[in-house]
Amino acid sequence: MTPLIGVENLHKTYGSGATACEALRGVSLDIAEGESLAIVGKSGSGKSTLMHLLALLDRPTSGTITLDGADTAALSRKELNRTRNQAFGFVFQQFFLNASASVLDNVTLPLMIAGQSARTRNTQAMAALAQLGLEDKAHNKAKDLSGGQMQRVVICRALINQPRVIFADEPTGNLDSATGATVENILFDLNREQGITLVVVTHDEDVAARCDRRIVIRDGLLWTGEQVAA
């Protein structure tokens, strides 16, 4: 079966000449549709770089990334934008909400970028907010929410375009353990119940342990030593 995302001998070098920095030095892995994958590693190990490449936010120096078996290097800028807009959802540690805009406007951003009408956007946003119990906050400003509520709004925003993959970069990094656990539960529920593939970059051992699979990145390489030593 073709993996959803296939990675083959991925290299990524930042800079050039004497100051060149090799962030990834030949990583290969497959991500199956519907699985949850934890990418674990120390800071500077290259795990964020790997996620950015998987999410098509950046192009590798060498190596291939396939999506549904098709080489993404062949995609035009426009097709890359459309793929990220329609197939991916993003959850970042720092939320990246527009503080002065309403919750509704924040959540509908991906649909507005996609060019949907205001009516469709609002209907879908209300459904996504209801799913996470935030429908009464729709018209509040984002800055008036608590940290846990903000991260739930971010998840709503990632969900609204019904993505195939959600990329989460330290999703619970800024939350206390109780709210962190709630957010975790939401993400894993989405993975289990809606079959959305989950790719989580994390330091958090608990989050990594709940994933179907975890990979460890060390010095730009996939570390195949004993799995518990992260």
- Binding region for other proteins (CB under 8 A): 52, 55, 57-58, 77-78, 81-86, 90, 92, 94, 96, 98, 100-101, 109-110, 112-115
Strand order in the sheet with 62-67: 21-31, 5-14, 62-67, 70-71
Please, are residues 36 and 25 in contact by the beta-carbon 8 Å criterion? no
Using the CB atoms, write b or e for 107-126: b if 16+ within 10 Å: bbbbbeebebeeeebbebbb
| Stretch (H or E) spanning 167 | strand 165-169
| DSSP state string for 168-215 | EESTTTTS-HHHHHHHHHHHHHHHHHH--EEEEEES-HHHHHHSSEEE
> Which residue, 51 or 230, is less far from other proteins as judged by CB?
51
Write out the two tokens for 126.
């209300």
Query: Please, what is the minimum distance in Å from the beta carbon of residue 18 to other proteins?
Result: 21
Nearer CB in complex with other proteins: 50/230: 50
Measured from the CB of residue 70, what is the shortest distance to other proteins in angstroms? 18
Shortest distance in whole angstroms from residue 228 CB to other proteins = 30
Q: Which two tokens stand for residue 168?
A: 């989460």
Work out how close the CB of 14 gets to other proteins at its nearest, in angstroms, rounded to a whole number: 11
12 vs 137 by CB, closer to other proteins: 12
Element (H, E) at 154: helix 147-159
Between 98 and 177, CB nearer to other proteins: 98
Nearer to other proteins, 44 or 133 (CB): 44
> 6 or 110: whose CB is closer to other proteins?
110
Identify the helix (H) or strand (E) that includes residue 118.
helix 118-131
- Among 68, 147, 164, 156, which residue's Cα sits nearest to residue 110? 156
Q: How far is the CB of 50 from other proteins (least distance, A)?
A: 12
In the complex, what is the shortest distance from the CB of residue 96 to other proteins, in angstroms, rounded to a whole number? Answer: 5
